[in-house]
Amino acid sequence: MMMSGSIDGRDGTKISPVGNDTSTTDMEVRIFLRDNDPEANILLDDYEFTPEEIRTAMNITVDRWNDTPPDIYRMDYDEIPYRSILLMGVASNLLSMAAHRYRRNSLAINAGGTSVNDQDKAREYDSAAERLRAEYLQAIRTKKRELNSNMGWGWA
């Protein structure tokens, strides 16, 4: 868990937290995606995303941060001080995972002149995931450019 003051990324670089200096929690992710109340998920009557899926999405998001050049400030999901970047990335990855599930389970049922396909949501989930992905990838590039520039000027 991240504490107040500066932190060390995996590469040993000191980074001061920005905004809230705690790790992004599963509940914050759920609230962002409106997945925090199983009773409000009328069709599912459960959470849409498991804790394991949320953690996996966090790891994928932080891997994207670490893999994006320049290779500075390598971190784990519980170290990243840029919570909005992590939240957008996690949400994007979760929506993408859900889109895959909906694509796999989509089956139109026709009976008595009525057509039902409650799993036909992949397109909407893909669209939402892509919007968030574009935003978080741009945020990563912008933040890394800023950090790299600050290091060059000796401000980091």
- Whether 77 and 61 have beta carbons less than 8 Å apart is answered as yes
Report pLDDT digits (tens) over 39-55: 888 877 889 999 999 99
In which band, very low, low, confident or very high, does the pLDDT at 145 lie, cut at 50, 70 and 90? very high
Q: Output DSSP code: residue 72.
A: -
pLDDT of residue 24: 86
pLDDT of residue 1: 34
pLDDT at position 34 over 60: yes
pLDDT at position 95 over 90: yes
Q: What is the pTM of this model?
A: 0.79
Q: Output DSSP code: residue 15.
A: E
Under DSSP, is residue 110 helix (H, G, I), strand (E, B) or coil? strand
